[in-house]
Structure 1
Amino acid sequence: MIKKSNLKMGMCFPFLIIVILLNACTTAKKLKYFQDLPENNQLTNLGDSHFTEPVVQPDDILSINVNTTEADAGQIINARNGVNLVAGINSSTGSVGVSSGYLVDKDGFVEIPILGKVQLAGLTTTKAKEVVRTAAKKYFKDPIVDVRFSNFKVTVLGEVNRPASYVLPNQQVTVLDAIGYAGDMTIYGKRTNVLIMRKTSDGKNQSITLDMTKKDVVNSPFYYLKQNDVVYVEPRRARQDTNTENTVLKYITVAATVLTAIVLLHRYSL
């Protein structure tokens, strides 16, 4: 009788181990990005990404530098980039800091010492650089001009480790970059439903959800973020999925441990 019971318990134990392993694999799979990529060293073509260079808008803050062959010729212009104008967010910690540079007024103009008022709204930084260079040629010999955003900001909310607004060091930023700045998604983040919210230059509000488990997400026009975009990582059923999985796994583990002890006791009692 003891041997028969012992045999049944011994048959159940491997089954429980398989259940535990399958449950763990299912949970781990939900945490993966790009799940449809082949799991080998095969080169995979992901297609073309859609990056559109952002344009300057009113209330933007620009870093404008003018350098020439004449010593200290652009010093007055370049010194303005060290003037704090508006509160910002540190790109690495999310803490409050300041942005410096030239503020674009409501009419789209930037007032630059010596050069005067220059209209830059509606232009990319590449085009803005040419406009400033043309204005600078009137006063300086062979000017070299650089125009960059000082307040390229995106906000990452929801199930990430460091939700905050981030002022980023460059303007070619993907949704993966933003999630990376925020310390990646938590284990509760729903990777199949990442919401991107965007306000267009004409004042319209747009939104789209991206499935970060699919490789074709890189082809979305929202894969590259624009200034002031909001990234929201939705929780998986208000964390109920993960809580349920953890509870089931906990009970299965406890049951397997108890069953192992019973099997060992029966073997020693023979």
Structure 2
Amino acid sequence: MNALQFRFNILFLVGCFALVSLFLGGCVNSRQLAYFQTATSAQDTLALGDRYVPPIKRGDVLSIQVSSLSAEASAIFNPYSSISVGDGNTVRGTNTSLPQTSGYLVGDSGTVALPLIGQVKLEGLSNGRAAEVIRTKLRTYLKEPTVSVRNQNFRVSVLGEVTRPSLFTIPNEQLTLPEALGLAGDLTIYGRRDNVLIIREEGNKRTFARIDLTNRNAFQSPFYYLHPNDVVYVEPGKARIASTDRLYQISPIVLGILSIVAIILTRPR
């Protein structure tokens, strides 16, 4: 065996050792990756929970758009129309800061201040019901008014073992847990699908709930429909921890072998 072949064999063995060690430390059972299992037949039916309709709360920022037969008269009630707040259909995500929005702030009294109308109580109403309340009051000033109300700070955070962890702003105010995970690019192969954590803050309490996405009973969970400001956290599984530990374990060994290889390669022959 010549010197060149000897050196090549050493490098090849080092590479194989590192790859095998990482592979053995990161194996994942395929059943741990499949969503919504336990089907009893090729087709079955599962009842869903009530669809969540978010009520307006204090501190919400509302986009209120008014139109009527007179565009000029309607413009009085649309002071934020010249400020771009998104097209209403795009889900926004950011990793750095909260999106800046402009609209009507729901104050501590649960009201918003509208031009000419004054304070209107909207707290506790759905967006559809709030639009009806405002439309009724606008009939004094406009002919055939129509009103659209949107919540601009319906946000959900998705963190942990997902492809794109981020804070998402939801324009249609209806979001399920699978949809939120889809926005984040789905779970990585290392994410635990059987123990997804939902953190929900309502009133003066914070609730922690865990959902098993490998079981189709997840569709019946009260946390299947997400609420504003929910936090979704996907924790790493044993495979991620094992592969990370394995990397730290073999790194000194690999470095040591590479040092020996470097000495051999640099020795005059």
TM-score (ref. length: structure 2) = 0.73
Q: Equivalent residue of 2:71, what SS?
A: coil
The structure with the largest strand share of the pair is 1
Q: Distance in 1 between matches of 2:230 and 2:161?
A: 17
Q: Equivalent residue of 1:72, what SS?
A: helix
Q: How far 1:180 sits from its partner (Å)? A: 1.0
Q: How far 1:29 sits from its partner (Å)? A: 2.4
Q: Distance in 2 between matches of 1:84 and 1:70?
A: 22
Describe the shift of the 1:182–1:119 C-alpha distance in structure 2 as closer, same or farther (beyond 3 A). Answer: same
**2:100 matched residue in structure 1:** 98
Q: Distance in 2 between matches of 1:217 and 1:241?
A: 28
Query: Cα deviations across residues 112-145 of structure 1 (Å, max 9, x unaligned)?
Result: 1222211111111122111111111121112111
Q: How far 1:240 sits from its partner (Å)? A: 2.5
Query: Cα deviations across residues 193-230 of structure 1 (Å, max 9, x unaligned)?
Result: 00111111x32211210000111111111100011111
Taking the TM superposition and a 5 Å limit, the aligned residue runs for 1:1-270 are 27-37=29-39, 42-83=42-83, 91-95=91-95, 96=97, 97-200=99-202, 202-237=203-238, 239-241=240-242
Q: Distance in 2 between matches of 1:50 and 1:211?
A: 19
Paired residue total: 217
Quote the sequence identity (%).
Answer: 40
Q: Is the 8 A contact 2:93 2:167 kept in 1?
A: no
Q: Distance in 2 between matches of 1:243 and 1:45?
A: 41
Query: Cα deviations across residues 90-125 of structure 1 (Å, max 9, x unaligned)?
Result: 934425432222111122111112222111111111
Report the residue type matching 2:235 in the other structure.
E
Q: Equivalent residue of 2:210, what SS?
A: strand
Q: Distance in 2 between matches of 1:61 and 1:50?
A: 25
Q: Distance in 2 between matches of 1:58 and 1:149?
A: 12
Q: Distance in 2 between matches of 1:92 and 1:198?
A: 21
Q: How far 1:183 sits from its partner (Å)? A: 1.2
Q: Distance in 1 between matches of 2:162 and 2:79?
A: 38
Q: How far 1:44 sits from its partner (Å)? A: 2.2
Describe the shift of the 1:243–1:122 C-alpha distance in structure 2 as closer, same or farther (beyond 3 A). Answer: same
Q: Distance in 2 between matches of 1:238 and 1:117?
A: 56
Q: Is the 8 A contact 2:150 2:171 kept in 1?
A: no
Q: How far 1:51 sits from its partner (Å)? A: 1.8
Q: Distance in 2 between matches of 1:188 and 1:169?
A: 30
Q: How far 1:68 sits from its partner (Å)? A: 0.9
RMSD (Å), alpha carbons: 2.7
TM-score (ref. length: structure 1) = 0.72
Q: Is the 8 A contact 1:59 1:103 kept in 2?
A: yes
Q: How far 1:79 sits from its partner (Å)? A: 3.5
Q: Equivalent residue of 2:133, what SS?
A: helix
Report the residue type matching 1:164 in the other structure.
S
Q: How far 1:160 sits from its partner (Å)? A: 0.9
Q: Distance in 2 between matches of 1:212 and 1:34?
A: 6
Report the residue type matching 1:166 in the other structure.
F
Q: Distance in 2 between matches of 1:107 and 1:191?
A: 42
**1:259 matched residue in structure 2:** none
Q: Which moved more, 1:103-112 or 1:185-194?
A: 103-112
Q: How far 1:167 sits from its partner (Å)? A: 0.6
Q: Is the 8 A contact 1:65 1:74 kept in 2?
A: no
